[in-house]
Amino acid sequence: MGLWSLRHPRPHRGRGHHTDADGTDLTAEQQRLLLHIRRIAAGLLAIAAVAGAAFARDFLLPAVFAFFIATTMRPLVRAMSRRGIPAWATTAGIVLVAAAILGIATSAFAGAISQWIADAPRLQQELMHKLAALRSSFDGLIHISDALQQAAAPANSDAQEVVVKQPMLPTVFTVLAGYPLNVIFVASGAIVIAVFLMASGDLFYEKLIRVMPTLSDKKAALAIALDVEREVSAYLLSITLINAGLAVAVGLAFWLIGLPTPHLWALFAFVLNFIPYLGPITGLAVSALIGFVVFDTLGHALLAPLAYGILIGLETQIITPAVLSRRMEINAVMILLALAFWAWCWGIAGIVVAVPILVSFRVLCAHVEALAPFGEFLAQRHSAETTTA
């Protein structure tokens, strides 16, 4: 059963009968049995796909990242090809520009990162000292609570006081110690595969058309591939530009507040904002922690998370909905479920690719009629539903 049969089911030949793909008439009982078999097969296939994705993580992660990188750059490669520039030359130019940007970023941020790493023990000691000072300000309330507990306890009570020692706060570098090698492996593999995908031009589309059995299937497959490319490219480019603007705004705000190395926190905001919901929350928490460590007064320390929260609110509630088209918006529940699933399956890297995968699947649902109900669940609430609710 091809793509055409998914979008345009063949009509029944008579009451209680159905014509199968090979032209055989099926009775109503056979139809029900065939439907149950197909549902069981689909369920088993879904379970096998999930297990395979988790098992083949080290192979699939670079391939998925490479697919999205190549898809994002594909419109540029195709536009240059129409002007007579071969795909390999455009790909070489993209690689050179990316290498230059990476080199500039490394030279710009290496010093700040090294300084924060060197100051990490001192900052941890200062954080513990400020937390102890903050706790001492509540000693009066603690003494009152202890007095009330002693008054309520029996006179001959043999209750013993148990003191639980608080563990030292783990440093970020200790938590992330196991990640650098994996990140380097995934990034290098993704870049190499993406370069070959971009340099191959439209080879993938040509092979896709060739393997489809009928003309209608060829047209449907090509339409799906081009639509996925267009939507994913537009989404990733839009999100990248929005995050770059947010990074500039965060850097300026932190510079005005007086936070050291504001350009480093701008980069931090840029990277984190690729992760929906979890990224902004993490950035808000880290900005509050850094403000509390760096500044002496509580009011001054709260300026950093306040500025970060205001900028994130403007980005999520005004800028992003205005930039992204309605068809690229996905409801929040499905995004959270996708984040949870891909985080369980692929870890932190899965969180990064969760939304692009969801966008690609929504495009597929728009083209395949059998998947249309899933596409409806992915979509945002329609305006008519909002007014009647």
Question: Which tens digits make up the pLDDT trace of 206-230?
Answer: 888 888 888 888 888 888 888 888 8
Domain co-membership, 196 together with 102: yes
Q: Which of 193-197, 307-311, 374-378 has the lowest mean pLDDT?
A: 374-378
242 and 348, same domain (yes or no): no
**What is 18-34 written as a DSSP string?**
EE-TTS-EE-HHHHHHH
Give the three-state DSSP class for 379.
strand
User: How many Å from the N-terminal Cα to the C-terminal Cα in the chain?
Assistant: 40
1-10, 119-128, 244-253: least confidently modelled range: 1-10
Q: Could you tell me which residues come within 8 angstroms of residue 2 by beta carbon, excluding any fewer than 6 positions away?
A: 212, 213, 214, 216, 217
Which amino acid would we find at residue 124? Q
Query: In this predicted structure, which of 179-193, 238-252, 254-268 has the lowest mean pLDDT?
Result: 179-193
Q: How much is the pLDDT for 249? A: 95
In a domain, 146, yes or no: no
358 in the same domain as 264: no
Among 263, 258, 234, 261, smallest CA distance to 247 is for 263
Assign 245 to helix, strand or coil.
helix
Report the b/e string of 123-161 with b at 16+ CB within 10 A: beeeeeebeeeeeeeeeeeeeeeeeeeeeeeeeeeeeee
The label of the residue with tokens 């030949």 reads 13
Residue-averaged pLDDT of the chain: 78
Looking at the structure, do residues 299 and 246 belong to the same domain, yes or no? yes
Do 331 and 289 share a structural domain?
Answer: no
Residue 153 has pLDDT above 70, yes or no: no
Q: Residues with Cβ < 8 Å from 325, sequence gap 6 or more? A: 234
User: In this structure, is residue 209 part of a structural domain?
Assistant: no
Q: Of 301, 320, 339, at which residue does a domain stop?
A: 320
Is 60 exceeded by the pLDDT of residue 128?
yes
Residues 244 and 368 in one domain: no
Same domain (yes/no): 184, 314 = no
Could you say which of 320, 342, 366 is where a domain stops?
A: 320
CA atoms of 85 and 81, how far apart (whole Å): 5
Please tell me the distance from the alpha carbon of residue 169 to that of residue 180, in angstroms, as a whole number.
21
According to DSSP, residue 331 is labeled -
Contacts of 25 (CB under 8 A, 6+ apart): 13, 14, 17, 18, 19
Pair 345, 269 in one domain: no
- pLDDT, position 307: 93
- Convert the pLDDT of each residue in 79-121 to its tens digit: 888 888 888 899 999 999 988 888 888 887 777 777 777 767 7
Sequence-distant (6+) residues with CB within 8 A of 80 are 87, 89, 90
Question: pLDDT digit string (tens) for 37-89?
Answer: 888 888 888 888 888 888 888 888 889 999 999 988 888 888 888 888 888 89
**pLDDT-wise least confident of 248-257, 313-322, 346-355, 370-379:** 370-379
Q: Are residues 253 and 364 in the same domain?
A: no
pTM over 0.95: no
Which token pair is 185?
């492996």
Asked if the structure places residue 240 within a domain, the reply is yes
- Which two three-digit tokens encode residue 272? 């984190």
Question: What is the average pLDDT across 224-250?
Answer: 90
Is 42 within the bounds of a domain? no
**Total number of domains constituting the chain:** 3
Q: Inform me whether the pLDDT recorded for 346 exceeds 90.
A: no
* Domain final position from 320, 351, 381: 320
Kindly state the percentage of the chain with pLDDT values over 70.
75
Whether residue 280 is contained in a domain is answered as: yes
* The two three-digit tokens of residue 125, written as one number: 């000691």
Supply the pLDDT for residue 270. 93
Per the domain annotation, does 12 fall within a domain? Answer: no
Q: What is the DSSP letter of 370?
A: G
For tokens 């870890």, name the residue: 347
Same domain membership, residue 102 and residue 184: yes
Domain containing 279 equals 234-320
Q: Where are the beta strands (DSSP E) in 148-302?
A: none
Residue 289 lies in a domain: yes
For residues 351 and 139, give the distance between their C-alpha atoms in angstroms, rounded to a whole number.
Answer: 42
Number of neighbouring beta carbons within 10 Å of residue 172: 12
Q: Quick one: DSSP state of residue 275?
A: S
Q: Does the residue 261 lie in any domain?
A: yes
